[in-house]
Amino acid sequence: MTLFVFIPAGYVVFLSLLRWNLIDVNAQFVGLGNYVHLFASQSFQQALSNTLILGVGLIVILLPLGLFLAVLLDMGLHGTRIYRTVMFGPYVLPLVASGLVWTLLYNQNFGLINQVLAWAHINGPDWLGTNGFALLAVLIMTVWQYLGYYMLIFLGGLQNVSAALKEAAAIDGANDRQTFWHITLPALSPSLFFALIICTIQAFQTFDQVYVMTGGGPDGSTTTLVYYIFNEGFQMYNIGTAAAASMVLLILLVILTLLQVRLGRRWVVEE
């Protein structure tokens, strides 16, 4: 563990101070030059903002929607198991496989999405090939892939909320909505907190679906941080730049996690 997490983390700091193309025996020490270069680079800024947009988008959609579906599944309806199985299904599929499917669905001329839109007399865009739409398309596909996972996390949390507490609230005259906001939601805060952290990490890891569906394009509009690192390091062989970008990713994740833990301390209600 130490070998594969902490030593690399140290090594990456060292590499980020070099200019090196992986093959050359002599690497040139450039100090913080890579970082200066990185933050001045348009494509890096774009990758950073794409990743943040994707992250915010995923959190804003997946968490409330997952919670909503979990609440519905917690009502004890007939067929709950079937709904749950269907909705969780995509999570176990390889992102590559779903990426290929969605590439077909998104196709401008014969993709299912545009055919359905055409049926409603809407001329669908070239989803993956248009600057404004491609990131949205990746976001939608990612939501499809992960929705069931978040639903399951919240369902686990909901089933842990004590029924006695809810009953007591009902006896005290609270309606369903009041019970949800004042009893269920606070009791669910550990799950929410966990989901927030996992969702952030997942967003920052985004790579597979981008690699398959868009290759980071068009014009870098779907290039995520990880895709940028991969591209710099293993396509262009700028190891120093890639390592510096890895450092940014690492530091961002640490900061975000610590921030969330700190926030979590304040509003997570432990039983």
Of 125-184, binders to other proteins (CB under 8 A) are 144, 147-149, 152-153, 155-157, 159-160
Q: Judged by CB under 8 A, which of 55, 90, 125, 220 binds other proteins?
A: 90
Q: Which residue from 52, 67, 19 is spatially nearest to 194, judged by alpha carbons?
A: 67
* CA quadruple 175, 178, 179, 180: dihedral, nearest 10: 120
Q: Among residue numbers 202 through 231, which ones bind other proteins (CB under 8 A)?
A: 204-205, 207-208, 211-212, 226, 229-230
Residue closer to other proteins by CB (options 135, 187) is 187
Is the four-CA dihedral 15, 18, 21, 25 of positive or negative sign?
negative
Q: Judged by CB under 8 A, which of 47, 87, 137, 199 binds other proteins?
A: 87
Q: How far is CA 189 from CA 80, 194, 196, 209, in A?
A: 23, 8, 10, 30
Residue closer to other proteins by CB (options 221, 246) is 246
Q: Judged by CB under 8 A, which of 60, 112, 236, 259 binds other proteins?
A: 112
Q: Tokens in use for 91?
A: 């999570």
Phi first, then psi, for residue 28 (nearest 5°) are -95, 135
Q: In angstroms, rounded to a whole number, what is the distance separating the alpha carbons of residues 4 and 170?
A: 52
Q: Judged by CB under 8 A, which of 103, 142, 179, 184 binds other proteins?
A: 103
Smallest gap from residue 194 Cβ to other proteins (A)? 4
Q: Judged by CB under 8 A, which of 94, 168, 265, 269 binds other proteins?
A: 94
Residue closer to other proteins by CB (options 133, 149) is 149
Q: Among residue numbers 50 through 79, which ones bind other proteins (CB under 8 A)?
A: 69, 72-73, 75, 77, 79
Residue closer to other proteins by CB (options 172, 271) is 271
Which residues are CB-neighbours of 7 under 8 A, at least 6 positions away?
Answer: none
Residue closer to other proteins by CB (options 169, 248) is 248
# binding residues, other proteins (CB under 8 A): 83
Cβ atoms within 10 Å, residue 267: 10
* CA quadruple 244, 36, 222, 98: dihedral, nearest 10: 0
Cβ atoms within 10 Å, residue 207: 17
Q: Does 18 bind other proteins (CB under 8 A)?
A: no
Residue closer to other proteins by CB (options 48, 105) is 105
Q: 189-205 vs 131-158: helix axis angle to the nearest 10?
A: 150
Smallest gap from residue 70 Cβ to other proteins (A)? 10
Residue closer to other proteins by CB (options 95, 183) is 95
Q: Judged by CB under 8 A, which of 119, 163, 177, 270 binds other proteins?
A: 119
Smallest gap from residue 107 Cβ to other proteins (A)? 8
Q: Tokens in use for 145?
A: 């892939």
CA 126 to chain centre: 23
Smallest gap from residue 205 Cβ to other proteins (A)? 5
Q: Tokens in use for 76?
A: 């004890």
Decide: 188 and 161 in contact? Cβ < 8 Å. Answer: yes
Q: Judged by CB under 8 A, which of 19, 136, 197, 217 binds other proteins?
A: 197
